[in-house]
Structure 1
Amino acid sequence: MPFVILFLMISWPVLEVASIIQVSRWIGGIPTFLLLAAGVAVGAFLVKSQSRLVGVRVMEVMRSGGSPEKTLLDSGTTSLAGILFMIPGFVSDAVAILLLLPVVRGFLWRGASYGVRTRGGKWQARPQQGARPEPQGDAQGPVRSETVIDVEFTEVPRGEGKGGSSAKRTDSPWNKG
């Protein structure tokens, strides 16, 4: 895996430069520059719009009772596409366009939600095979243990505690005697 990351770190900039050179040979230098500038503008617009809309979308989904994971993934992929548009080059622009397609987002959602299932609208990790299932709370509330501790307290006014008055209280349950 580290070799793959190193390979991508070296080959990605080389591919970007090669794509810029090839496109400038096909359409010329000024149109290539204008395309790159338009990509930066589109990317900045996408990032800015997603930063404003993600909170609103998540709140709408949560108010309707849904889980916000898919909304967050959609906003995240759109923001990542905007960042890729702002990187100069046409390979990153092609990847950004792919991230904006709903089909690709569907594949990403299925990959991100693999191993997770929903039960009653709540996300839970799938149990490992052979693992004991953990107790789940029911509709009335959380699972409680059988041990119950009942506590009562009495508030002691200032001056009646340590160093307050020297007179002993006779009604105190703490007095031995």
Structure 2
Amino acid sequence: MLALFVLLPLIEIALFVLVGGWLGLWPTLGLVVLAAVAGMALVRNQGFAALRDLQRSAQGMGDPARPLAHGALIVLAGFLLLLPGFFTDLLALPLLVPPLRRLILRQLAARVVVASATVRTTRRWPGPGADIIDGEATEIPPEAPPLPRNRPSGWTNPPE
């Protein structure tokens, strides 16, 4: 990990020197700013798409793992694009292309081993097919005093 923190700035500096020597100062700086702006626009659009996929998954009671994984890679791409430099931009680009992102996730998933899993089943009520909902209830006797009206609820502090 320490090597990463040492090598990354050295690679970025070397690329700045090479590209700057080839293009000149202002085109090099313009390219860095253009890459950051364009990359962040892509991250924003794809981030919203990943969020929509996550919401659809949650509404349909589906597995949120895939949209969460895509979202995590998009966030990583955004982080890499925020870092100034050509090398980190090149690392972020595959994370912004959905087919490449799926390939990366497939490769990562092949290396993940699930140690245990829990499956919960719902018993069906013998009859109309309604689910059983387990819960607790407390009966309030009719002789209980009525709840106070027009007073602070106790959940908030009264104004002083």
- Judge same fold: TM > 0.5, yes or no: yes
Aligned partners of 2:73 and 2:101 also within 8 Å = no
Structure with bigger helix share is: 2
TM-score of the pair, normalised by structure 2? 0.65
- Give runs of ≥4 in structure 1 deviating > 6 Å: 151-154
Residue 22 of structure 1 aligns with an amino acid whose one-letter code is: L
- The aligned counterpart of 1:170 is none
- The aligned counterpart of 2:123 is 140
Shift of 1:42: 1.8
Which runs of no fewer than 5 residues in structure 1 stay unpaired? 117-124, 128-133, 142-150, 160-177
Structure with bigger strand share is: 1
1:86 is the counterpart of 2:85: no
Aligned partners of 2:43 and 2:78 also within 8 Å = yes
Q: Percent identity?
A: 27
Structure-1 separation of matches of 2:36 and 2:91: 14
Shift of 1:153: 6.5
Change (3 A) 1:105 1:137: closer
- The aligned counterpart of 1:106 is 103
Structure-2 separation of matches of 1:53 and 1:93: 21
Which runs of no fewer than 5 residues in structure 2 stay unpaired? 125-136, 146-160
- The aligned counterpart of 1:157 is 143
SS of 1:88 mapped into structure 2: coil
TM-score of the pair, normalised by structure 1? 0.59
Q: How many residues get paired?
A: 131
Aligned partners of 2:42 and 2:96 also within 8 Å = no
Change (3 A) 1:154 1:92: closer
Change (3 A) 1:23 1:63: same
Residue 155 of structure 1 aligns with an amino acid whose one-letter code is: P
Rg: which structure is higher? 1
SS of 2:105 mapped into structure 1: helix
- The aligned counterpart of 2:113 is 115
Residue 108 of structure 1 aligns with an amino acid whose one-letter code is: L
